[in-house]
């Protein structure tokens, strides 16, 4: 069962009532979902006291909220997991081939479209990886970037989008704002690999990316910081201009997925090599987002959820070399059916006192109570 997806939906689809069947009406909180990319269950110290990576900001969410220890994503790789998160459906229900076009059907309800129906301002920042029209990875027929990119976040419930089409090791590399490229990918970038380096990474670890087209001036190590900047801009803009609406912000990070390219201040600072340093950078950025919520005066009215899309690319050789177990004692990793591939960190913080001590239900009764509370039927449209 996609426990993590059900929890996301339970908390997001009808905020204010998901934590208790008896609540008929409640103030709608802002909702911020932060999704890491390829981060393991055992990377954060809240889940693994022996972690070689210090994660004080992720731990802060755990200490101030609820830590779920058996939450599972909808898949053990990026695409099916994100599809399940957005739609509430198992990815196995349809093809996950991006070459066939956008994965989410035009009429399919998403978390964002449902929340927008109920008065939320909706924004996404980061990695989409659920397809655009045209297919952007077709080397034989490059996209015409003078035309709108269809089938992305703004066609599935988000008022605004700033991000990229896929991972930072999959060309073409360029930013997208709503339906248009910020700058088309007209330059070329050579492939990169860390094979043969001092940390002994293989061909899909380290500073790995594929050759291809890239937007002029785009630097891959600046993408993660840019996404945190954009998310903070969304929070500030919402506070100054949309106080009559609650905010739903989906921050889908491209990290710590490859390429592992932390900025200078984090290099060499963890005990888990380039990967651990990149997780440090992710944790620091999460702290910036939490601080921005407080600075905007909305942290007490904001439900924050943190998780990862799937497990890490972390082998037994890496555990032996660094003494760091990124899956926290689980078996398997990314792409695996074992728990290390899909059992994820999942933390929820909502400071309002009425949230304290509540328990979440993860079966169909959650959906029934949500449907009754809002007199809508998300289950029929999403499962």
Q: What are the extents of the domains in the chain?
A: 3-164+216-382
CA gap 291, 227 in Å, rounded: 16
pLDDT beyond 70 at 18: no
CA dihedral of residues 294, 296, 301, 305 (deg, nearest 10): -60
pLDDT for the residue 372 = 39
What confidence category does residue 139 fall into, taking pLDDT thresholds of 50, 70 and 90? confident
pLDDT for the residue 92 = 81
Helix, strand, coil distribution of the chain in percent, nearest 5: 35, 15, 50
Please state, rounded to an integer, the average pLDDT across all residues of the chain: 87
Q: pTM, whole model, 2 decimals?
A: 0.90
Which residues on adjacent β-strands are paired with residue 36?
A: 308
pLDDT beyond 50 at 15: no
What confidence category does residue 199 fall into, taking pLDDT thresholds of 50, 70 and 90? very high
CA gap 125, 227 in Å, rounded: 6
Nearest by Cα to 151 from 80, 101, 86: 101
Buried b (16+ CB within 10 A) or exposed e, 345-360: bbbbbbeeeebeeeeb
pLDDT beyond 60 at 355: no
CATH number given to 3-164+216-382 = 3.40.720.10
- Average pLDDT on 96-107 reads 92
What confidence category does residue 9 fall into, taking pLDDT thresholds of 50, 70 and 90? low
CA gap 290, 302 in Å, rounded: 10
pLDDT for the residue 23 = 36
Q: How many residues does the chain have?
A: 383
Kindly report, residue by residue over 61-89, the tens digit of the pLDDT.
999 999 999 999 999 999 999 999 999 88
Chain position carrying tokens 């999704």: 35
What confidence category does residue 28 fall into, taking pLDDT thresholds of 50, 70 and 90? confident
């Amino acid at each position: 069962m996609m426990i993590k997806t059900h929890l996301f939906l339970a908390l997001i689809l009808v905020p204010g009532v998901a934590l208790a069947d008896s609540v008929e009406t409640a103030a709608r909180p802002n909702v911020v979902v932060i999704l890491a990319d390829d981060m393991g269950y055992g990377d954060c110290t809240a889940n693994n006291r022996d972690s070689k990576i210090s994660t004080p900001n992720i731990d802060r969410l755990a200490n101030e909220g609820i830590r779920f220890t058996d939450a599972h994503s909808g898949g053990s790789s990026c695409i099916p997991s994100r599809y399940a998160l957005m739609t509430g459906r198992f990815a196995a229900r349809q093809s996950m081939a991006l070459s066939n076009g956008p994965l989410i059907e035009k009429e399919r309800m998403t978390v964002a479209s449902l929340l927008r129906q109920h008065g939320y301002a909706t924004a996404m920042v980061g990695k989409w990886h659920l397809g655009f029209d045209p297919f952007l990875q077709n080397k034989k027929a490059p996209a015409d970037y003078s035309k709108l990119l269809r089938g992305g976040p703004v066609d599935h419930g988000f008022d605004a989008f700033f991000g990229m089409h896929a991972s930072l090791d999959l060309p073409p590399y360029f930013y997208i704002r709503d339906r248009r490229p910020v700058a088309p990918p007209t330059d070329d970038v050579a492939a990169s690999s860390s094979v043969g380096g001092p940390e002994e990474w293989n061909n899909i670890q380290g500073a790995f990316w594929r050759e291809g087209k890239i937007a002029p001036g785009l630097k891959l190590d600046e993408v993660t910081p840019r996404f945190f900047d954009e998310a903070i801009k969304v929070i500030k803009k919402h506070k100054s201009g949309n106080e009559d609406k609650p905010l739903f912000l989906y921050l889908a990070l491209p990290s710590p997925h490859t390429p592992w390219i932390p900025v200078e201040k984090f290099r060499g600072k963890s005990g888990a090599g380039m990967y651990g340093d990149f997780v440090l950078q992710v944790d620091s950025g999460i702290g910036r987002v939490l601080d921005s919520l407080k600075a905007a005066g909305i942290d007490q009215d904001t439900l924050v959820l943190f998780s990862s899309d799937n497990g890490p690319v972390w082998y037994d050789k890496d555990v032996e070399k660094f003494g760091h177990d990124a899956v926290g004692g689980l078996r398997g990793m990314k792409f695996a059916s074992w728990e290390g591939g899909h059992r994820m960190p999942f933390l929820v913080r909502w400071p309002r006192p009425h949230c304290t001590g509540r328990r979440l239900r993860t079966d169909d009764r959650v959906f029934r109570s949500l449907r009754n509370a809002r007199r809508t039927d998300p289950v029929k449209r999403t499962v």
